[in-house]
Amino acid sequence: MTQTTIDCTSTTCAYNNHGCTALAVTIGGNTKEATCSTFIALDMRGGLPTADGHVGACQRIDCKHNNELMCEAPEIIITGNTAHCTSYEAR
């Protein structure tokens, strides 16, 4: 089983403190783009003391890295104000 690490530059997210500090994120989104559903813009920072986030679950069964609702990519890249998963690849 892959422990997918996260390279996240969505600095408006409350879990971003020099990287993703959520223990595990869920990737979801809509028909237009795959996005991080854990993203939340708040006037505070939370999560782990250091950036060590992983993908806990991914709802994008239409992505070729998805196997049984888990991500099998070694690392994903999250960017922008919508926390877009740039590692998404359509099957």
Q: Which residues bind ligand SF4 (CB under 6 A)?
A: 27, 34, 55, 58, 60, 63, 65-66, 71, 73, 76, 85, 87-88
Alpha helices in the chain (DSSP H): none
Least Å distance, CB 41 to ligand SF4, is 20
What are the CA-CA distances from residue 19 to residues 2, 63, 79 (Å)?
Answer: 19, 23, 11
Give the residue with the Cβ less far from ligand SF4, 22 or 27.
27
Shorter beta-carbon distance to ligand SF4: residue 43 or 60: 60
